Amino acid sequence: MTTRSTVLITGASTGIGATYADRFARRGHDLVLVARDKARLEALAVRLRDETGAAVDILAADLTQPGDLAAVEARLRDDARIDTLVNNAGAALSGPFIDQSTDSIARLIALNTTAPARLASAIAPRLARAGTGAIVNIGSVVGLAPEFGMSVYGATKAFVLFLSQGLSVELAPKGVYVQAVLPAGTRTEIWERAGIDASAMPDLMEVGALVDAALVGFDRREPVTIPPLHDASHWAALDAARLGLVGDLRQAHVAERYRPAA
Ligand SMILES: NC(=O)C1=CN([C@@H]2O[C@H](COP(=O)(O)OP(=O)(O)OC[C@H]3O[C@@H](n4cnc5c(N)ncnc54)[C@H](OP(=O)(O)O)[C@@H]3O)[C@@H](O)[C@H]2O)C=CC1
Ligand SMILES: CC(=O)[C@H](N)C(=O)O
């Protein structure tokens, strides 16, 4: 008898996470769904069990709360059926930095960076030992563009991209696939939750199209998947420029332009 692999998805009660749940269930996986809203998770679990035959567990957790986060970490560490983690739960923070409260900034950083890093840390050693599995981290194109004026949200998403790329370097040779997915504006509740009027946003991507595109990148084992980027050569050029810069660093020598005038 073969065991069906299980995918743990955070932020699965709605939006991108709920759509991943739908798609992975239809691909023949069992699921563990994580979010705060237990009633919504239960409703999704009932529908997916009914429509796909998948075994679906729910784990109600507020990922900004250390105790709740620890329970999800324990599940990832101990449940050997889980071979894929989708680090999707996240939120945005609108308005200028100087108008954001220090506490709301700290909460956003906890949800968008501490939680995915801790959850990846909980599962990665087991996957590396098994030589298989995947970690999918949902970033954002906002993490590429300080000019968008969402400094803290963008910084959390830059963290997600860097973490994903670093983990890919470390874990790919051990057989573990790590993917960063960078959506642009997508039609979900994130806007309303952040107090942004989505109806005023032009041209949002539909969530099903976003997740289906991300899964094309997943199946290709792309390290970085950017569904709204039409000319892939832009990403290749950015990466090549970055590697060129890194190759030009000479640790022991100050660059000519910084040498004090004699
Ligand atoms: N929509 C967009 O335009 C874009 C979204 N993204 C990223 O995609 C990811 C998903 O966002 P999206 O689907 O749009 O947003 P939604 O607001 O639709 O969904 C967010 C999900 O995260 C969960 N969540 C929020 N806070 C917590 C918390 N403290 N603990 C546990 N779960 C939490 C919510 O469930 P609950 O309330 O039940 O806890 C919900 O399931 C995020 O990381 C976001 O940054 C990236 C680029 C663009
Ligand atoms: C609120 C946003 O800016 C959006 N989720 C994004 O990451 O593009």
- Asked if 20 contacts 188 with a C-beta cutoff of 8 angstroms, the reply is no
For the chain, state the CA radius of gyration. 19
Q: Round to whole Å and give the CA distance between 100 and 198.
A: 20
Reference 75, options 118, 134, 11, 44; nearest CA is 118
Query: How do residues 135-190 score in pLDDT, each as one tens digit?
Result: 999 999 999 999 999 999 999 999 999 999 999 999 999 999 999 999 999 999 99
Reference 204, options 187, 220, 225; nearest CA is 187
Ligand 1 environment, Cβ below 6 A = 11-17, 35-37, 40, 61-64, 88-91, 111, 138, 140, 183, 185-186, 188-190, 193
- pLDDT of residue 237 exceeding 60: yes
- pLDDT of residue 197 exceeding 80: yes
**How far, in Å, is the centroid of ligand 1 from the Cα of 194?**
10
pLDDT for the residue numbered 2? 61
Ligand 1 atom 2, closest CA: 186
Per-residue confidence at 9, pLDDT binned at 50, 70, 90?
very high
pTM here is: 0.98
Q: What are the tokens at 227?
A: 């569904």
pLDDT for the residue numbered 6? 98
Per-residue confidence at 34, pLDDT binned at 50, 70, 90?
very high
Give me the interface pTM, i.e. the ipTM.
0.99
pLDDT for the residue numbered 247? 96
What's the CA angle centered on 45, arms 41 and 51, to 5 degrees?
Answer: 145
What CATH number has the domain spanning 6-233? 3.40.50.720
**Atom from ligand 1 closest to the CA of residue 62:** 30
